[in-house]
Amino acid sequence: IFIIYYVINIIMLKIKYNIIIHLKIILLCSFVFIIVLVRTIKLFFILFKHLLLFNITISKKISSIILLLLIIILFIIIIILSGSISTSSTIIHINFIIRFIIFLILVKILPYILILILIFIFVQ
């Protein structure tokens, strides 16, 4: 991921088209969203197995709330990752490092936050 993103940034410096910048952002956002979604679903099924032991049923309302939360999180990821990309190489490298850190935080922490939200929904 790191190498691919770095190569794309070098290409960006040579081409300098806004369309490609937006495509890169969309690709990265969708990639992050897919990873977060997969991790959240895995964690949710682990949690769900434990919840089934307590005879807790999932209604259509709860599933729609989960879907809404995932859509909101997708928009948050897009807003975070679509920061301005400057043409000077130093700013791009700083942006890239910051975005990579945000990417790691999102992939590692966001599924657990989602699971906590789901637990609160179940408790209520």
Output DSSP code: residue 59. Answer: P
Q: 66 Cβ partners below 8 Å, 6+ apart?
A: 118, 121
| pTM recorded for the entire structure | 0.37
pLDDT tens, position by position, for the chain (124 residues)?
667 777 767 666 665 555 555 666 667 766 777 777 777 777 777 766 666 555 455 565 666 677 777 777 766 666 555 554 444 444 555 566 666 677 667 777 777 777 777 766 666 5
- Distance separating alpha carbons of residues 5 and 66, to the nearest angstrom: 31
For the chain, counts of helices (H) and of strands (E): 4, 0
Rg (CA), the chain: 18
- One-letter amino acid for residue 112 of the chain: Y
- One-letter amino acid for residue 7 of the chain: V
DSSP 42-65: HHHHHHHHHHHHTTPPPPHHHHHH
